[in-house]
Structure 1
Amino acid sequence: MATYIVGDLHGCFDELQLLLDKVNFNPSQDVLYCTGDLVARGNKSLECLRFIKSLAGSAKIVLGNHDLHLLATALGIKKIKARDRVDSIFASPDFHALIDWLRRQPLLIHNAEQNFVLAHAGISPDWDLATAKACATEVEQVLQFGNYYDLIENMYDNHPERWSPDLQGIERLRYSINAFTRMRFCYWDHRLDFACKAPINQAPPELTAWFNLSNPLYKTTNIIFGHWASLVDSPTPENIYALDTGCVWGNRLTLLRWEDKHYFTQPALKSAVDFA
């Protein structure tokens, strides 16, 4: 039995299958974790959704920003973008079942036995593990059981920039969604920044990667995330694992076997220009 964690799929279904073949993945024995963003930009988002859903308990995912955006388009809140290449999802006979399954997935997974935390973008620099789990649960409860239309409709905003335990209502939920699914750079005072998308070594001095800020959680907990394709091959702290290696942009898909921390990679089958 092995535990594998794969970076953002973005519809790169064929590369995923090749990776799983490399490790002889056996869903009756092994478990596959996904860093989120199963869909968008690649040409086989429908196949990715169907496959991960079909694995049932052998696959565990966290929601990414593109997964949440798919929910928004399914609700009619946002229009389908041609560049997202998700038309096949909307035309599929199992569309409603796929969307219902997707909205019931978590924002955070804490595997206490194997000592790791998984989130699409990371963990807020102002959160300890208990707070992160509580904030994830608050959003998940609305997505799964509450008025999730209002939540999705009102999640598209960059404010509040900084966490406070006094946040309430949509501002509290929105901050949590942004931290879990959109965060990359932060200001040194822990405010989230969403404007800078430069490579980490080209960021302005007032910004730094979220995992470089002072938070005891970052030193005591293994944190696995995706989302940040331009971070590929950049160093991270020893217990911070960045798995989005930009397959959909022509780079590679990365799979981590947790037990021995061995990485497996599969080069993209299409070049970045094919996804323009």
Structure 2
Amino acid sequence: MANYFVGDIQGCFDELKLVLDKVAFNPSIDCLWTVGDLVARGSGSLQTLQYLKSLSGSAKVVLGNHDLHLLAVHGKLKRANPKDQLDELLHSQEIGNLVDWLRLQPLYQQHSEKNIIMTHAGVPPNWDLHTLKEQADNVSKALQQEDYLTSLIANMYTNSVDSWNEELSELEKKIYTINALTRMRYIFPDGRLDFDCKLPIQQCDNPQLSPWFDHKAKLHPSHTLVFGHWAAIMGKVSSPKLKALDTGCCWGEHLTLWHAESDQKITQNRLKKS
């Protein structure tokens, strides 16, 4: 059995199939782990969700910020970004079932035997495994409630909840969890999340900001952390215990697949569209 972890697909379904063909991915014996942002900028968001849903237990999925935004768009809380290519998905007869499937997907996945943890954007440095599981599970439970749109999704669009403490309300804890696990890039010295800078590390001109993974952390010395979300760094991180897999396929770069057993990365360039 092989474990393959893939970066942000963003609807680049053709590229996903090609990179899986390169490793002869077999869902009968192999497992595909996806770091979230399954949909949006590529033309194959519908096919991506259909495929991952069809893999059942052979796919381990976490939600990214674009996936959560899709829930809001489908629920008529937000309009689709004009740059996203979601029309085919949103008008599909399967959209209801696919949204319900997305709502069942967690914000973190763990491979206990290999000490691997996967989230979309990373893990706050001051969180231990218990905190990650507890807070991510609370968000998942809220997504599975009938009133998930009004109780959670409608309230998640805020930058005001940017730091963690136990005094936060239950809703604020869920919002912080979403912000941290699906939107985090840079943080301040005191641990506050920054939501503005998306630049490569060498180009960030704010001396107060540093990548979340450069802070002393409770998890990644003992665990390998797999994440996506930050295409600008093109997989370049400060430790072999970090696997940054978003390499900007939807922006014209390539899709990255990490084979956990061999610690090898396999890539597929973005296809030129006619």
Into which bin does the TM-score normalised by the smaller protein fall?
over 0.9
Q: Does residue 99 of the first structure (1) align with residue 99 of the second (2)?
A: yes
Q: 1:239 & 1:167 partners in 2: Cα distance?
A: 31
Query: Percentage identity across aligned positions?
Result: 49
Deviations along 1:183-242, one digit per CA (max 9) or x if unpaired, are 000001110000111111111211000000112322121100000000104233120110
CA distances 1:14-73 after superposition (whole Å, capped 9, x unpaired): 001110110000010100000000000111111111111111111111000000000000
Structure showing the higher helix proportion among its residues: 1
- Asked if the contact 2:258–2:264 (Cα under 8 Å) also holds between the matched residues in 1, the reply is yes
Contact 2:128 2:219 in 1 (8 A): yes
Supply the distance in 1 between the matched residues of 2:52 and 2:109 (Cα, whole angstroms). 16
Matched, 1:129 2:133: no
Hey, what's the Cα distance between the residues in 1 that align with 2:55 and 2:238?
A: 31
Gapped runs of 5+ residues in structure 2?
A: none
- 1-side partners of 2:238 and 2:35: how far apart? 17
- Partner residue of 1:248? 250
Q: Which amino acid aligns with 1:46?
A: L
Q: Report the AA paired with residue 140 of structure 2.
A: E
Partner of 1:158: 159
Aligned-residue CA RMSD (Å): 1.2
- Structure 1 Cα separation of the partners of residues 84 and 110 of structure 2: 30
Q: Which amino acid aligns with 2:111?
A: N
> How many angstroms apart in 1 are the aligned matches of 2:235 and 2:117?
21
Report the TM-score when normalising by structure 2: 0.96
Superposition pairs of residues 110-121 of structure 1, within 5 angstroms: 110-121=110-121
| CA distances 1:58-116 after superposition (whole Å, capped 9, x unpaired) | 11110000000000001100012221110101111111000100111000112111210
CA distance in structure 1 between the aligned counterparts of 2:122 and 2:187, rounded to whole angstroms: 12
Aligned residue pairs, count: 272
Moved over 2 A (4+): 233-236
Query: Which residue is equivalent to 1:9?
Result: 9
**Aligned AA (2:181):** F
Q: Contact (CA 8 Å) 2:226, 2:244: kept in 1 or not? A: yes
Contact 1:35/1:61 (8 A) holds in 2: yes
The within-5 A match list for 1:1-276 is: 1-145=1-145, 147-150=147-150, 151-203=152-204, 204-270=206-272
Between the aligned partners of 1:257 and 1:234, the Cα distance in structure 2 is 17
One-letter code aligned to 2:98 = L
Partner SS for 1:123: coil
Q: Output the CA distance in 1 between the equivalents of 2:198 and 2:85.
A: 22
- Measured in 2, the distance between the counterparts of 1:10 and 1:140 equals 21
Q: Distance in 2 between matches of 1:181 and 1:138?
A: 15
Q: Give the letter for the 1:177 counterpart.
A: I
How far residue 146 of structure 1 moved from its aligned partner, in angstroms, is 5.3
Which whole-Å CA distance do the structure 2 matches of 1:99 and 1:231 have between them? 30
Question: Distance in 1 between the 2:38 and 2:3 partners?
Answer: 19
Question: Matches of 1:100 and 1:235 in 2, distance apart?
Answer: 34
TM-score (structure 1 length as normaliser): 0.96
The question of whether the paired residues in 1 share the 8 Å contact of 2:125 and 2:218 is answered with no
